[in-house]
C-alpha cells in the first residue's frame, strides 16, 4: 500500500498592492520557478475570495511522498527562491501541509 500524497498550501499577502503589475509578476515568476522542481505536482496559483480571512493569495501543490516533499524543501531552486523572492516580497503567510487520511 502506498503512502498518501501530501498537499502543501500556503496563503499569503504580498508587499505589493493586490492586482498590481508587481503582484502579478511575482505570482507568474513564482509559478515559473516552482513548477520546474521535478517533484512538484498540480501546482496552482490562487486568489482569496472569501471574507472569512484577510490573506490575498495562495499556492497549492502536491507531492507523492514525504521524501518528495523533503526534496522540494531542500531543492536549491526552492531555497534560492525563498531567500531571493519570498522573504523579500511576502509580507506574511500561513503554511499548511495536509496528508490524506483513510477514514
6-99 — its CATH code? 3.30.70.100
Q: For all residues of the chain together, what is the average pLDDT?
A: 95
pLDDT above 80 for 1: no
| Domain range list for the chain | 6-99
pLDDT for res 2: 57
pLDDT at 100: 83
- Which pLDDT value is given to residue 45? 98
**Model confidence at 4, in pLDDT bands (50, 70, 90)?**
confident
Residue among 52, 31, 53, 51 nearest 43 (CA): 31
pLDDT score of 27: 98
Task: For 18-68, write each residue's pLDDT tens digit.
Answer: 999 999 999 999 999 999 999 999 999 999 999 999 999 999 999 999 999
pTM: 0.92
CA 50-54-55 angle, 5° bins = 90
- The dihedrals phi and psi of 84, each to the nearest 5 degrees, come to -90, -25
Amino acid at each position: 500500500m502506498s503512502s498518501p500524497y501530501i498537499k502543501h498550501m500556503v496563503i499569503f499577502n504580498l508587499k505589493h498592492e493586490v492586482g498590481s503589475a508587481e503582484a502579478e509578476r511575482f505570482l507568474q515568476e513564482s509559478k515559473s520557478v516552482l513548477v520546474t522542481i521535478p517533484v512538484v505536482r498540480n501546482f496552482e496559483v490562487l486568489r482569496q475570495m472569501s471574507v472569512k480571512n484577510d490573506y490575498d493569495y495562495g499556492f497549492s501543490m502536491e507531492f507523492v511522498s514525504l521524501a518528495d516533499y523533503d526534496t522540494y524543501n531542500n531543492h536549491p531552486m526552492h531555497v534560492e527562491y525563498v531567500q531571493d523572492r519570498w522573504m523579500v516580497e511576502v509580507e506574511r503567510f500561513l503554511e499548511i501541509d495536509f496528508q490524506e487520511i483513510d477514514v
